[in-house]
Amino acid sequence: MEYSQKIWNYCTINLIPLLYASSAATYGEGELGYVDDHDIIEQLHPLNPYGISKNEFDKWILHQEDHPPFWAGLKFFNVYGPNEYHKAIMASVIFHAFNQIKQNGKVNLFRSHKEGYANGEQLRDFIYVKDVVAVCYWLMETVNRKSPGMSDVLPTHDLPTGQAGSRLTSAIYNLGTGKARTFNDLVNATFAGLDIQPEIGYIDIPGDIRDKYQYFTEADMDKLKAAGYTKDFYSLEKGVDDYVRNYLAKNDFY
């Protein structure tokens, strides 16, 4: 976290707007929901070290009296899309599903170990990387239009959820689609992008991560919309189809 703090302090001293990556992993099992309300951040219980590290920085910045002229922490949900090959095992399920289909003609998903969820019916909020870029670009452009001074941008970090009005304010924001979909849906869309009939198998979740596995995530997107972002997000089917047909199937990582 020390490096992130140094970036924050540098931007503060030099009056540079800052966007940083938080994560939906901060929400843990979702006991408190998936609302990007600053009031619940101290109460969140992430399930793994990655989520803990992101939440610790979120907590830290909310206690800072000095801050950049504008800042936004973006809680990325399940991002997928071109140019993720370098992430290896941490790449999206679509990337791994595509490779499994090419190698074996089928895809293995995690079996459910939780009552109320069928195999492959675990739900996540999957967001196409092109939407992530669009939001980041919109934030940058909106802040730049208000420079210098950014008098219409409130650099505050105690803004109640849903009260941003039509103005962009410094805050922590969810970045998902607002619609949870199943892993079965995701893999079926991957097969469809290849014009192949789906064949899905199920394997046990490894024991070392079984108690840290999120069965449901869904971003509450009211805060970003209230801040002025109005563009529609890619549907799961359209995003996966674009990724598979125009990038993975063409061996075009970029």
pLDDT of residue 156: 45
Of residues 193 and 152, more confidently modeled: 193
Residue with tokens 């199920």: 202
Mean predicted confidence (pLDDT) in 175-182 = 98
Region of residue 197 (phi > 0: left; psi between -120 and 50: alpha; otherwise: beta): beta
Which H or E run contains 79? strand 78-80
Predicted local confidence at residue 6, as pLDDT:
97
pLDDT bucket at 167, cuts 50 / 70 / 90? confident
Question: pLDDT tens, 68-81?
Answer: 999 999 999 999 99
HEC sequence for 203-218: ECCCHHHHCCCCCECC
Write down the pLDDT at residue 136: 97
pLDDT digits (tens, 9 = 90+) for 30-68: 999 999 999 999 999 999 999 999 999 999 999 999 999
Band of the pLDDT at 158, cuts 50, 70, 90? very low
- Give me the pLDDT at residue 170, please: 96
The predicted structure's pLDDT at residue 154: 44
Q: b/e map of 26-53 (b: 16 or more CB within 10 Å)? A: bbbeeeeebbbbbeebeebebbeeebbb
Look at residue 146 in the predicted model and tell me its pLDDT.
62
Angle 164-142-128 (CA atoms, 0-180°, nearest 5)?
Answer: 85
Q: Is the pLDDT of residue 3 over 80?
A: yes
Known catalytic residues? 50, 87
- Give the chain's largest Cα–Cα span: 57
- DSSP annotation of 73 reads E
Give backbone dihedrals phi and psi of 28, rounded to 5 degrees, phi first.
60, -130
Indicate the average pLDDT of the chain: 91
* Cα 116 from Cα 139, distance rounded (Å): 39
Place of tokens 């492959």: 120
| Structural domains of the chain, ranges and CATH numbers in brackets | 2-248 (3.40.50.720)
Note the pTM of the prediction, 2 decimals: 0.89
